[in-house]
Amino acid sequence: AQKVTQAQTEISVVEKEDVTLDCVYETRDTTYYLFWYKQPPSGELVFLIRRNSFDEQNEISGRYSWNFQKSTSSFNFTITASQVVDSAVYFCALSSHSWGKFQFGAGTQVVVTP
Amino acid sequence: SQTIHQWPATLVQPVGSPLSLECTVEGTSNPNLYWYRQAAGRGLQLLFYSVGIGQISSEVPQNLSASRPQDRQFILSSKKLLLSDSGFYLCAWSVSVSYEQYFGPGTRLTVT
């Protein structure tokens, strides 16, 4: 079975603070894929990043960065210098060919106040 | 480019009435298709997924069903809605499980 844990239910920050979202996963597969999605108040899920299990390079995209560590089965997401527009629910997800589908975490609500 | 459409955007239905939600994808062939429900709170519950025409896998036993009559069309149905069917229904597609899913705008269903 596959499992994704996002232990943080809600994180509140003041604008310009950094915020890190934790994602811990469980899988028996050696080849798997990890994703992050953003769900703004409008409801539509927006794809942010995909990582395969063989690529442990960290990635930075503007104010977003991701830290993938196989040793701890974690794929954490950091928003630097947060803005009000970052207020959303963020989901981490896991997939693999043997599982045949996507397993989403429960999501973390990020609230950024001015 | 690929686009995914869902309709209707909102729906209010009485208990016991039928349901039909439609999802179509443009710009790709033989996509994997998914139906999710997001009830109050945030969790995404996978309801059905399909890897091809006529191939439907059900994740949760309930009074909902899904069909894929055409390659890029995915339909979620119910013969008799329950109050517990209220929620936000999302359709998604992907090339395969190796790649990201792209989600439609969703349908907000309220069963009264």
Name every residue whose Cβ is closer than 8 Å to that of residue B35 and which is 6 or more positions away in sequence.
B23, B46, B47, B48, B49, B66, B74, B76, B89, B90, B91
Banded pLDDT at B41 (limits 50, 70, 90): confident
**What's residue B68's pLDDT?**
96
**What's residue A13's pLDDT?**
97
Lowest mean pLDDT among A103-112, B33-42, B87-96: B33-42
Phi, psi values for residue B86, rounded to 5°: -60, 140
Q: What is the mean pLDDT of residues B39-52?
A: 88
Cα-Cα-Cα-Cα torsion B62, B31, A99, B43, nearest 10 degrees, comes to -50
Q: How many helices and strands (H and E) does chain B possess?
A: 0, 11
Structure tokens at B78: 């119910």
Residues of chain A positioned with their CB less than 8 A from the CB of B34: 101-102
CA–CA min distance A29, chain B (Å): 13
Banded pLDDT at B104 (limits 50, 70, 90): very high
pLDDT in tens, A18-49: 999 999 999 999 999 999 999 999 899 999 99
Closest chain A CA to residue B33:
A101
Using CB atoms, which residue from B43, B99, B108 is nearest to A50? B99
**DSSP string across B7-59:** E-SEEEE-TT--EEEEEEEES-SS-EEEEEEE-SSS--EEEEEEEETTEEEE-
- Find which of A104, A108, A110 to mutate to test the B interface (most B CBs within 10 Å of its CB): A104
The mean predicted confidence, pLDDT, of chain A is 94
The helix (run of H) or strand (run of E) holding residue A103 is strand A102-104
**Residue holding tokens 């043997």?**
A98
**What's residue B54's pLDDT?**
87
pLDDT in tens, A51-75: 999 988 888 899 999 999 999 999 9
CA–CA min distance B102, chain A (Å): 7
**What's residue A101's pLDDT?**
86
List % helix, strand, coil for chain B (3-state, nearest 5): 5, 55, 40
Banded pLDDT at A99 (limits 50, 70, 90): confident
- Find which of B49, B57, B100, B108 to mutate to test the A interface (most A CBs within 10 Å of its CB): B100
Nearest residue to B76 (alpha-carbon basis) of B31, B23, B4, B12:
B23
Residues of chain B positioned with their CB less than 8 A from the CB of A95: 97-98
Banded pLDDT at A77 (limits 50, 70, 90): very high
**What's residue A74's pLDDT?**
97
**What's residue B61's pLDDT?**
65
Banded pLDDT at B39 (limits 50, 70, 90): confident
pLDDT > 90 in chain B, percent: 83
CA–CA min distance A80, chain B (Å): 24
The mean predicted confidence, pLDDT, of chain B is 93
The residue ranking higher by pLDDT, A87 or B63, is A87
Task: Measure the CA–CA gap between B103 and A17, rounded to whole angstroms.
Answer: 29
Q: Provide the residue type at B23 as one letter.
A: C
Residues of chain B positioned with their CB less than 8 A from the CB of A27: none
